Amino acid sequence: MRRCLISANWKMHGTVASVQDYLEKLLERLGADHPEVVFCPPFTLLPTALLIASGSDVAVGAQNCHWETKGAFTGEVAPAMLAELGVRWVIVGHSERRQHFGETDASAAARARAAQGAGLSVIYCLGETLEQRDAGETFAVLERQSAALAGLDPALLAVAYEPVWAIGTGRNATPAQAQEAHAALRRRAGELLGEAAARELRILYGGSVKPDNAAALLAQPDVDGALVGGASLDVEGFCAIIHAAPGSRRGA
């Protein structure tokens, strides 16, 4: 059975004071019955987030990690460095990394394997561009990008379907478009990870998730959560998205 997972991706936003204030409010408002929540601030804010979230059931995640355990990689952070802090999750292969920082399917796969090797759970991001969707290539792109899942441990994995045209644009995929892509990804995960693991795999939707569209997206049978960018910066909005998630577990 799959427990809904709602993750905040703060991207390159926030200060020590704002994380502190936000997490205190988030913990106050969360209530007892809620989906799994993962908060992913920039690297510099991880210690503050971990301190405030410690003892709560909000997990803290990073937004990237390197594929090597150590070495001459100026500016990079190794997975074990994150794990040592108490970080439990890491976002890998986000489209902004692919678009602006040369991330490829191969480098994203290497990062994900290394992260899992250090005991971190991975939110593995994939999704098509508008050109690819318009050219009818969506499912071919998802098939190619998801090949990386074959080398991963399903127990430390969630997948995020994030159509690039929906990220930060205010234009979300419709619930039907999301469901169609998620169902295809679950079938693909079945081939790559086995049917049992695919039934347990959380597939999150990301791309302009807002308080007013979250419930319809999360009501889809194969949408098991959300990776929320812009709308996660506002604690009220993020709480509204969390509370729009179906309370019960779902799946086979």
User: How does DSSP classify residue 155?
Assistant: G
59 in contact with ligand PGA (CB under 6 A): no
Q: Among the candidate windows 71-79, 112-120, 129-137, 226-234, which touches ligand PGA by CB under 6 A?
A: 226-234
93 in contact with ligand PGA (CB under 6 A): no
Cα 164 from Cα 36, distance rounded (Å): 25
Cα 169 from Cα 173, distance rounded (Å): 11
Q: Which is nearer to ligand PGA, 211 or 230 (CB)?
A: 230
94 as an active site residue: the answer is yes
Among candidate residues 162, 150, 66, 79, the one with its CA nearest the CA of residue 121: 79
In angstroms, what is the minimal distance from the CB of 195 to ligand PGA? 28
Cα 228 from Cα 238, distance rounded (Å): 8
In angstroms, what is the minimal distance from the CB of 231 to ligand PGA? 6
217 in contact with ligand PGA (CB under 6 A): no
DSSP 3-state of 213: coil
In angstroms, what is the minimal distance from the CB of 194 to ligand PGA? 28
In angstroms, what is the minimal distance from the CB of 74 to ligand PGA? 26
Binding pattern for the stretch 7-46 against ligand PGA, x by CB under 6 A and - elsewhere: --x-------------------------------------
168 in contact with ligand PGA (CB under 6 A): yes
**Is the separation of the CB atoms in 115 and 77 below 8 Å?**
no
DSSP 3-state of 29: helix
Instruction: Please report, as residue ranges, which positions from 178 to 207 form the binding site for ligand PGA (by CB under 6 A).
Output: 206-207
128 in contact with ligand PGA (CB under 6 A): no
In angstroms, what is the minimal distance from the CB of 210 to ligand PGA? 8
Among candidate residues 50, 43, 38, the one with its CA nearest the CA of residue 226: 38
CB neighbour list of residue 193: distance below 8 Å, 6 or more residues apart: 149, 150, 152, 154, 201
Residue 123, classified by CB atoms within 10 Å of its CB into exposed (0-12), middle (13-18) or buried (19+), is: buried
208 in contact with ligand PGA (CB under 6 A): yes
User: Any idea which residue has 């991975």 for tokens?
Assistant: 122
167 in contact with ligand PGA (CB under 6 A): yes
61 in contact with ligand PGA (CB under 6 A): no
CB neighbour list of residue 152: distance below 8 Å, 6 or more residues apart: 112, 113, 116, 122, 124, 193
Q: Among the candidate windows 18-26, 72-80, 127-135, 229-237, which touches ligand PGA by CB under 6 A?
A: 229-237
Q: Which is nearer to ligand PGA, 159 or 227 (CB)?
A: 227
118 in contact with ligand PGA (CB under 6 A): no
Residues belonging to the active site: 94, 162
Residues that bind ligand PGA (CB under 6 A): 9, 162, 167-168, 206-209, 227-231
